[in-house]
Amino acid sequence: MNRSSLLAAAGVFAFAVAVYFLVPSATPAESAVPMQAPEPAGKVPHSMGEVSLTFAPVVKRVAPAVVNVYSRSVVQAPAMNPFFNDPFFQRFFGVNPQMRQRVQQSLGSGVIVRPDGLILTNNHVIEGGQDIVVALSDKREFKAKVILADQRTDLAVLKIDTKGEKLPTVEFGDSDRLQVGDLVLAIGDPFGVGQTVTMGIVSALARTDVGASNYQFFIQTDAAINPGNSGGALVTTDGKLAGINSAIYSRTGESVGIGFAIPANLARRVVDGAQSGGIKLPWIGADGQAVTGEIAASLGLPRPEGVLLKDIFPGGPAAQAGLRTGDVILSIDGVAVSDMQSLNYRVATHKPGDTVKAQIASHGRVSNAAVKLALPPAGSRDGAVIGGHNPLTGARVETLSPAVAVDLQMDLMAKGVVIRAVSDNSLAAGYGFQPGDIVRAVNGQVITSTGQLQHVLNAGGSHWDMVIDRGGQRMNLSVDG
């Protein structure tokens, strides 16, 4: 069973913890059914109803719609030969270790959301998988086809052929109606031991610093979830899908009571996109930052809240709605936003062409603005792999545009050519280039397109002076080759 992790810094801890994807389940939702007030302490139960409170009816209805997802892939690994793998031998005789193929298997969960076999899971469960198998709760197995895999949201949609049989499903709930303290159930297959159900509460909402997807806006729960739960269902006590379990905070990879689920409202958008030819997430055409106490004081705001706009794309939705740099977006459709991640999430739950109501604070006044959302301009989408003999040989590059910047969660005003991928054992890999690097200039020429970049590299002979932007830091490289 495979498990991947991301390091995250938790401000309330003095140590680093890891965000673990839950590979080797839970569903989206409306508010939990209110519980009756407890009887006074010391009162003896006088009926079976007071003794036998149970979620068994909900589990019986929902559990058959939660499945296991197996993803198999073939990877290259060094052969177990001490002679060829010895670093001393490799260094002095120039022999690379022998490689062999190895089958790698990851295990996760999924949720049936349509009776004809449409299944929702995490992208990281199936990413790189060449043979994906879905096992139903009755132990039948089906080969699955990937209908949509979206790395930005870390969600994927699979389809199995049921030969006309109608499968049980979980109904989407409205995750915006969840409240801290609501009871939730997590259903999945932790560690491959078989389907399990755990109970907890929603311990926080709108977590945006998890780092498990580009559209960070997670439901936090203390329901016990562990590796193997990825893609499973987080459900409310009325059996509606509240979210898709995706990651946990942990130093060991095992549950410590802090788990995260992708809200059902975003998951529903991904499923809709899978059924209509692909997910198209709109944008607001602006970039901003969280309002701190210092910023609030400087702007005359009564408290730190909202998103301060620092860049507005000309002709984009925000610009057309009359928003300006320095304005503060307080809420979208009446729901408060506190940082750019929560603003992007609110926008992503809508469709291109939808109009949202934004509450704006500007120059001491609060007003409303109607913002008509649109798709980010895609530009030429001129992706290409750099050839020839130069420092970038083997890198897949693309001209930066708002659509590319949104995909990569980069500055939407960024210009240049961005590296999307680097082939293993290529010259670009050898020189240390990484996905996300922006090529600003080569041999004194400002780079604006992939075609120009290839031309300048080829004309460079055997010397290249390059300006590279990595994470906002500019690097000047001089390469001879």
Nearest to 219 by CA among 32, 373, 36, 65: 32
Token digits for 157?
A: 């949609």
List all residues 6 or more positions away from 296 whose beta carbon is below 8 Å from its beta carbon: 302, 303, 304, 305
Helix H or strand E encompassing 177: none
Nearest to 184 by CA among 50, 270, 23, 58: 58
Q: Let me know if 230 is a catalytic residue.
A: yes
List all residues 6 or more positions away from 14 whose beta carbon is below 8 Å from its beta carbon: none
Distance CA 353, CA 372 (A): 6
Q: Which of 4, 25, 109, 154 is catalytic?
A: 154
Q: Which of 124, 189, 203, 327 is catalytic?
A: 124
The SS3 assignment for 208 reads: coil
Q: Let me know if 150 is a catalytic residue.
A: no
Distance CA 114, CA 215 (A): 24
Q: Let me know if 154 is a catalytic residue.
A: yes
Nearest to 118 by CA among 163, 169, 176, 188: 169
Q: Which of 4, 175, 230, 331 is catalytic?
A: 230
Pairing of strands 233-236, 218-221: unpaired
Packing angle, helices 264-274 and 340-348, rounded to 10: 50
Phi, psi of 395 (to 5 degrees): -95, 135
Token digits for 213?
A: 């997807």
Nearest to 129 by CA among 146, 153, 142: 146
Q: Active-site positions? A: 124, 154, 230
